[in-house]
């Protein structure tokens, strides 16, 4: 934990730099290690440190910039577990916005083009569903809001999925 706090993030969260593919790949290790550390703190009921680690990850590797969204799905659950509902909702909304943008793109494709993105479409829907299901465990009102968006997203894909 002390070593993690000393990491020098430099300008990893700057909007003025391009986050290339290799940097995003390296982000996988960082995000994975940070979420595992946060989960350990949660098991130890040390919610303050868990929150600090989760916040550090989100702040220094913005979700929108580092891709690999499946690694961020657990953040929603972890924030709920440490009773940080607003932060859980913020991460969930960020992910949902990304998923909706992707689905909007896919829904505009021809059936032929969509067939080439089948795995991506499926992965996006599965991750979106995961966020909704996680919210539903802890926050029914918020989950109902997300469910409406999910259903609308599915409807927008009706012409390309069977």
CATH number 3.90.350 is the correct assignment for the domain at 2-156? no
User: What whole-number percentage of the chain has pLDDT above 90?
Assistant: 70
- pLDDT, tens digit, for every residue of 93-103? 999 999 999 99
Tell me the pTM: 0.90
The single residue listed with the structure tokens 């982000």 is: 27
The single residue listed with the structure tokens 């969204």 is: 69
- pLDDT, tens digit, for every residue of 29-79? 889 999 999 999 999 999 999 999 999 999 988 898 878 899 999 999 999
Q: Where in the chain are the domains?
A: 2-156
Residue 83 vs residues 14, 41, 79, 86, 155: alpha-carbon distances, Å: 29, 14, 6, 9, 33
User: What whole-number percentage of the chain has pLDDT above 70?
Assistant: 97
Taking the C-alpha atoms of residue 62 and residue 65, their distance in angstroms, rounded to an integer, is 5
């Amino acid at each position: 934990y002390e070593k993690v706090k000393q990491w020098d993030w430099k300008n990893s969260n700057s909007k003025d730099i391009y986050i290339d593919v290799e940097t995003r790949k390296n982000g996988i290790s960082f995000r994975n290690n940070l979420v595992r550390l946060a989960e350990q703190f949660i098991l130890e009921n040390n919610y303050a440190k868990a929150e600090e680690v989760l916040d550090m990850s989100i702040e220094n590797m913005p979700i929108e910039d580092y891709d690999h969204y499946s690694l961020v799905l657990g953040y929603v659950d972890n924030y709920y577990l440490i009773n940080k509902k607003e932060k859980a909702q913020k991460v969930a909304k960020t992910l949902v916005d990304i998923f909706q943008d992707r689905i909007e793109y896919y829904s505009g494709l021809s059936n032929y083009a969509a067939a080439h993105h089948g795995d991506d479409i499926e992965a996006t829907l599965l991750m979106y569903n995961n966020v909704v299901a996680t919210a539903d465990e802890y926050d029914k009102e918020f989950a109902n809001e997300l469910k409406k968006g999910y259903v609308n997203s599915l409807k927008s894909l009706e012409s390309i999925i069977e």
